[in-house]
Structure 1
């Protein structure tokens, strides 16, 4: 026979259980408070959900939930109900916080690489050379373009002396291409080669890598100036409307997105949130313009501006069009186009039928459906097109326009995390997350219809014009049509000021 439990024992057990329940509820309330504080921080700092009073509603839900649970805990009422409500709140808030943090941290990765640039400097010899180590070149002479790339060459030479105890004598030469020619002809034993200029060399000698061997490599990492990292903040009206220019630089290179490289795609995206107008202005890669920065304001192809860094390209285009470029986005096209698969493919109108060299895809005239691989063939091709690089630039605009339209659709909000993950290794931008939030908030608040237009600067092909980066070579250049330049400039300013 079991002994009867006394009333006092029952009361003691009940009080103990009740006390334990209250402690759990207070702990849950503390967790709720911490989660709420972090959520409010994200919403305020990154200006999230600032449309249709959604952020105000969120603050109200947070305040009511915290105060309600606090009051019930103080009054020691509805303990089980409070527990259920608190757990549900923590689960929902935790999931929301995780998604928000993933989005913000994913975007911050796109900005981290804007803080520095990378250039790989190499010592190169002929394939059949007996030289196999850098030490074998101690006190030997190497060829390098000191006037063209003085800072990088001297940094590299200093590195060899300080870390490898190798002293080399540098023989100045006009360009890296001429240094390569001297190496091939046997005039020099070794040369210095900057990876940023290899695209130029490959253009003239497609199989150059089969004839050379690298005996030493060193990556020069340079911090960027604050002005480059932060961009130029545009003016914002009282109602949140704004207009700005975003420079889209398209590269197609292996290695990290922070690597300095030629820019084969040069588009200024002019955005006016008040009118919903977006203007894509393409400047042909071969446009013969004055190159700012490392180009010493000398005439050359626009694409060569990229080898001196993205700021050189920005300054060159600002000088050309007399406008301010507020931010930039630098895209590795090969990996960026994989984003097309994330958004479910895109449709574009093709004005002329052709077969692409990349992938051997046939694109008939009319509307064509593109996945990432087909899109790469579509935007790379120029030799099969009637107007060469001009038509290629138009096709690039079409694909970018199609991606923008897909990303602007409400259904893409749920895929924001996946999109950020896809872009992490293929895009860098100095455009702040808050600015993008403001653009999205304004668009949702005012239900502005997006109107995307395209234009391209007209150029006339000409051979034999001098190139600062490749002196002595007979290159194809695009002489700028002054009438077209005036029209393009006026349209950019009109969209900005509407």
Structure 2
């Protein structure tokens, strides 16, 4: 049977149309993700059209079997590449959607009774007298009490106590039958003499989830020296504002929900200038003795700000450094192990030869060390091996972050890309919008070039004081205002576009 001209060309036409539709769909996907600039999307589409043309020339005549089947093989390869690329794009966008744009925080207000109490649920304790803190964290407590009243169908009887220790004593001595307390305070009891065992003497019977919106500051206009001479150039100011960010990095050491409020053991402020490709990390010790934004001028350990929420952390650091923090990253350092392992390990540059003084007993040599997740966590937690204590720990935490940045921006990331994306969920979140991140990605792809990452740690003097959130005196670090002022100056220079050097951040 003789094949007509129409029959000879129809299979090639149909297959070409199918391939063209697949290429159009892939291009639309690229546009939707907003990860590539129009220039690169245009290049990708042009390459796909050339491949389409080549494939069409091979398959346009069915009776030329050898060429036709070569074209079929080429089409299968093209479709396979598009499919794999689409899968990677989907995973990337899903991961970014999961960790970006987070605008809520959950505070867990728990109900506790003594270990031997008969109550097993909130309803069992409905008739109890509930001890609460009179002033500390009162807004969250009152919200939780309202939720409890709604659940039990009746008014909740309360008794106020002026401090954490009085609240604990009230429960243990039977002055009240239960207490209502922010879960994050349980870690504070570990810092109070004679109350480290309190958590083992009580039992949780209910938990109220109090949700808060995380406020986001709009980046304030920043003028360079040239712009200062012509302050009427508002368009240029807006362009600089769009590429200058101040970001709070909070490291929490908990295995609970990443959105739950908790003490912030890592407190780093990033000043990012995307125009000059410069990042300045300022580390503030967890025990820094500073007024919280909610404490009416009464100083507290900086780590305790996290008890009251990420907003209080950012506002407190805004007060300390006279800045406006626009966004935050929150890292769960217990889960951070997953990210480092997914990267295939990182390199950290140790200032000292030391062995961690805990059960792990990891040894690190002075200079570069290749570490896995558990080793990196031990490295950035250690403070007792150093005379500088928490000061050195802050520096080492920044070294770990630097190691992650270096590995994540290297070609090696492609080896473990999917496992890295899977590891992000649950141990990392940010309120940076998706479109801000994609704009930075596009800029980097368009302009190329490496980023300069510098770090500086503020310092202070050890002392014993009574913090706002505690019932007795404890170790604190009184700020060295000279180092705080230097941190402010360094931040301002980065915002204005001045290129700093290692000498600028190393000199005290």
Q: TM-score, normalised by structure 1?
A: 0.84
For 1:334, the equivalent position in structure 2 comes to: 334
Q: Does 1:95 align with 2:96?
A: no
Give 1:233 shift.
8.5
- Which stretch of the first structure deviates more once superposed, 299-308 or 273-282? 273-282
For 1:4, the equivalent position in structure 2 comes to: none
Alignment of 1:142-157 (within 5 A): 142-157=130-145
For 2:95, the equivalent position in structure 1 comes to: 106
SS of the residue corresponding to residue 128 of structure 1 reads coil
What RMSD in Å do the two structures reach over aligned CA positions?
3.3
Q: Does 1:40 align with 2:31?
A: yes
For 1:3, the equivalent position in structure 2 comes to: none
Alignment of 1:52-131 (within 5 A): 54-64=40-50, 80=68, 86-111=75-100, 114-131=102-119
Is the 1:137–1:166 contact (alpha carbons within 8 Å) kept by the matching residues of 2?
no
SS of the residue corresponding to residue 318 of structure 2 reads helix
Q: Does 1:315 align with 2:315?
A: yes
Structure-1 separation of matches of 2:241 and 2:106: 37
Q: Does 1:215 align with 2:187?
A: no
Alignment of 1:367-378 (within 5 A): 367-378=368-379
SS of the residue corresponding to residue 208 of structure 2 reads strand
SS of the residue corresponding to residue 144 of structure 1 reads strand
Give 1:274 shift.
3.9
Is the 1:342–1:419 contact (alpha carbons within 8 Å) kept by the matching residues of 2?
yes
For 2:473, the equivalent position in structure 1 comes to: 474
SS of the residue corresponding to residue 219 of structure 1 reads strand
Corresponding pairs, count: 477
Give 1:434 shift.
4.0
For 1:173, the equivalent position in structure 2 comes to: 161
Structure-1 separation of matches of 2:172 and 2:329: 38
Is the 2:462–2:475 contact (alpha carbons within 8 Å) kept by the matching residues of 1?
yes
Structure-1 separation of matches of 2:221 and 2:307: 27
Alignment of 1:238-253 (within 5 A): 242-253=243-254
**Structure 2 alignment gaps of length 5 or more:** 223-235, 499-508
Inter-CA distance 157–238: structure 2 relative to 1 (3 Å threshold)? closer
Give 1:354 shift.
3.7
Structure-1 separation of matches of 2:446 and 2:29: 25
SS of the residue corresponding to residue 46 of structure 2 reads helix
Is the 1:242–1:273 contact (alpha carbons within 8 Å) kept by the matching residues of 2?
yes
Structure-2 separation of matches of 1:61 and 1:32: 10
Per-residue CA deviation, residues 26-46 of structure 1 (Å, 9 max, x unaligned), is: 34433333233223333xx23
Structure-1 separation of matches of 2:165 and 2:51: 69
For 1:495, the equivalent position in structure 2 comes to: 494
Inter-CA distance 425–137: structure 2 relative to 1 (3 Å threshold)? closer
Structure-2 separation of matches of 1:358 and 1:338: 20
Alignment of 1:281-296 (within 5 A): 281-292=282-293, 294-296=294-296
Alignment of 1:212-291 (within 5 A): 212-220=202-210, 222-225=211-214, 227-228=215-216, 232=219, 242-291=243-292
Give 1:295 shift.
3.9
Is the 2:12–2:60 contact (alpha carbons within 8 Å) kept by the matching residues of 1?
no
SS of the residue corresponding to residue 174 of structure 2 reads coil
Structure-2 separation of matches of 1:49 and 1:411: 24
SS of the residue corresponding to residue 256 of structure 1 reads coil
Give 1:17 shift.
7.4
For 1:400, the equivalent position in structure 2 comes to: 401
Per-residue CA deviation, residues 266-312 of structure 1 (Å, 9 max, x unaligned), is: 011222334443221111111121212x4455421111111111121
Inter-CA distance 96–120: structure 2 relative to 1 (3 Å threshold)? same
SS of the residue corresponding to residue 373 of structure 1 reads helix
Inter-CA distance 210–219: structure 2 relative to 1 (3 Å threshold)? same
Inter-CA distance 77–170: structure 2 relative to 1 (3 Å threshold)? farther
Structure-2 separation of matches of 1:231 and 1:254: 31
Inter-CA distance 62–240: structure 2 relative to 1 (3 Å threshold)? farther
SS of the residue corresponding to residue 125 of structure 1 reads strand
Give 1:464 shift.
2.4
Is the 2:251–2:264 contact (alpha carbons within 8 Å) kept by the matching residues of 1?
yes
Give 1:333 shift.
0.8
